[in-house]
Amino acid sequence: MIDSTNSTGSGRLGLIAGGGTLPAVIANAVAETKPFVIRLNGFADHDYSAYDMINMSVGEIGTIIKSLKSAHCTRVCFAGYVTRPNFKDLKVDAHGLGFLPKAIAAAREGDDAILRAVIGEFEKAGFEIIGPDVVLAGLAPRAGVLGAHSPSSEQLADISKAFEVAEKIGAMDIGQGAVVAGGLVLAVEAQEGTDLMLDRVAALPDHLGEGADDRKGVLAKIPKPIQELRVDLPTIGPETVRRCRDAGLAGIALQADRALILERELVIKLLDDAGMFLIARDVGTDG
């Protein structure tokens, strides 16, 4: 059961919804508080018609801010994936046009720099920015094993290396995840995202094998050291587990209290059925 007790602070919540399941989970969990949803064109892929909602381009920053204020929102939550837009074709309003040079300059530093710049515009407008982990406190895993299966000593070594690799690529604003098996780095996450990275692992020659007895290797996901945690925490769900299963991996490792697990009960069932593990660890520990 999701704990949304932290979502009921003063002021209406404005939800800026990108792609994926997370924005829909948030909207459903706080439905009684009547959230106001900004559905981002080209990214949001769920139906939010049950809520007070408008559709907007990511470049219509001024219109989004005015709409949030008209809806009496004082807090804003960004949720769901938004890929870097093509600035030449982006629909913008006057505020967005003025912000564009700052966004282009930030883009040279990486995606996280763009996120920080966008958040800054909303904070200057007077909004409190809160993360999905605050709205849905029950989605962040505490340290420990979730499910029936635990990693072996060899798999713990793979986890440590995968965390190390993920931290290094994160410091360069490349991605959040890495896959390691038997001490070998099989893949790192870049602009394609976790799902397509796992598809690459599944397509490797001499595939890792099928079935619980043959599984090896781990997917590790941690926040980038420079990451804006209020917007872009690592997130997994049932589809992540299915792709890890199809890639022959033995399990998944997350940083404790620094990730989100969607549909946790289904995630654990899929893991248990496949003989896979899920562990949340404090980064820098060995167990």
Query: pTM for the full model?
Result: 0.77
Domain 140-281 fold: Cytidine Deaminase; domain 2 (3.40.140)
Residue 226's CB: how many other CB atoms inside 10 A?
14
CA distance 281 to 285: 7
- Residues 119 and 129: beta-carbon distance below 8 Å: yes
pLDDT, position 9:
52
For residue 120 the two structure tokens come to 């800054």
For residue 30 the two structure tokens come to 């706080």
Residue 6's CB: how many other CB atoms inside 10 A?
14
Residue 45 has pLDDT above 80, yes or no: yes
pLDDT, position 227:
67
Burial class (CB in 10 A: 0-12, 13-18, 19+), 16: buried
pLDDT, position 206:
62
Integer Rg of the chain from CA:
19
- Residues 256 and 280: beta-carbon distance below 8 Å: yes
Most confident stretch, 91-95, 199-203, 211-215, 228-232: 199-203
Q: Mean pLDDT across the chain, nearest whole number?
A: 87
Q: List the CATH code of the domain at 5-135.
A: 3.40.50.20
Q: How confident is the model at residue 217 (pLDDT cuts 50, 70, 90)?
A: very high
Interval 153-159 mean pLDDT: 95
For residue 137 the two structure tokens come to 């406190």
pLDDT tens digits, 254-284: 999 889 998 999 999 999 999 999 999 987 5
Q: How confident is the model at residue 15 (pLDDT cuts 50, 70, 90)?
A: very high
- Residues 149 and 219: beta-carbon distance below 8 Å: no
Interval 92-119 mean pLDDT: 81
Among the listed ranges 96-100, 197-201, 204-208, which one has the minimum average pLDDT value?
Answer: 204-208
Residue 222 has pLDDT above 80, yes or no: yes
Interval 241-262 mean pLDDT: 94
CA distance 273 to 147: 10
For residue 158 the two structure tokens come to 């793979």
Q: How confident is the model at residue 241 (pLDDT cuts 50, 70, 90)?
A: very high
CA distance 166 to 61: 32
Residue 6 has pLDDT above 70, yes or no: no
Interval 89-96 mean pLDDT: 84
Q: Where are the domains of the chain?
A: 5-135, 140-281
